[in-house]
Amino acid sequence: MAPSASSKTSAGDRGVAAPPPAGASPASLRTGDAPDRAELERVRARDPEALEAFFERYFDRVYGLVYRLLGDRTLAEDMTQEVFLKVHRAAHQLDPGRDPAPWIMTIAHNACRDLWRSNAWKLTRRAASLDGDSPLAATLTRGTNDPERDLLADERERLVQDALLKLPEPLRVAIVMHDYQGLGHEEIAAATGVQHAAARKRYSRALAALAALLKDTLG
């Protein structure tokens, strides 16, 4: 059984939450996040209700990852649906004894990597922005009751996202998976097919490159 119609809503329809800002604690993304073993056993067996709950639990995180990597709302919505179709097909490979988040993020990263290698990506690639119709900017709820502060925060978010999209894809992946998805370097290494030490070095290079891009725009 494929994901149900209720799972196939767009990010805009769902009011997707914005990913955490750069510098947010990765540990905060993992606390209490994983389903228990019994629920994962049901997902592995493709129980429809368990799958529905599983998709709901991880939809925002997958969308946040692919949006950060692709920088395009429509592409991110389509890719998120594709990722969950892949998750459904591969449910029998799920290890119920482990946090499924790295497994899901690996599937999402591989789907994005396939797109990057395609002719379609080369033909349609364009600069991304968080202005205008972006669901991340539009649904961000800061709760500060300070419009000026919120405007400055939104502008900072846009500048960081624009800089991320200028990074080579491996460096962008390193930052997005670690700082926005809360994955450790060992998990990122497994997801991207490199050695642990190489993943750590790539992340350091990515931070330096991002800092250089932002040097003149963020104080």
Q: Please report whether residue 149 resides in a domain.
A: no
Total domain count, the chain: 1
- CATH number of 60's domain: 1.10.1740.10
Distance CA 68, CA 72 (A): 8
Query: Residue 135: its pLDDT value, please?
Result: 36
Range of the domain at 76: 24-126+167-212
Q: Please report whether residue 195 resides in a domain.
A: yes
Q: Please report whether residue 68 resides in a domain.
A: yes
- pLDDT tens for each residue of the chain, 219 residues long: 455 534 455 555 554 444 444 444 444 444 456 789 999 999 999 999 999 999 999 999 999 999 999 988 888 999 999 999 999 999 999 999 999 999 999 999 999 998 888 766 665 554 444 343 433 333 334 444 565 665 666 778 888 888 999 999 999 999 999 999 999 999 999 999 999 999 999 999 999 999 999 887 765
Q: Please report whether residue 137 resides in a domain.
A: no
Query: Residue 129: its pLDDT value, please?
Result: 40
Query: Residue 125: its pLDDT value, please?
Result: 55
Long-range contacts, 169-172 (Cβ 8 Å, 24+): 169/69, 169/113, 169/116, 170/202, 171/202, 171/205, 171/206, 171/209, 171/210, 172/68, 172/69, 172/206
For residue 88, the surrounding DSSP H or E stretch is helix 73-89
Q: Please report whether residue 101 resides in a domain.
A: yes
Q: Please report whether residue 78 resides in a domain.
A: yes
Q: Please report whether residue 1 resides in a domain.
A: no
Query: Residue 150: its pLDDT value, please?
Result: 57
pTM > 0.95: no
Query: Which candidate, 179, 181, 175, places its Cα nearest to that of 205?
Result: 175
In order of 96, 153, 161, 193, 211, the CA distances from 22 in angstroms are: 30, 12, 10, 24, 12
Q: Please report whether residue 159 resides in a domain.
A: no
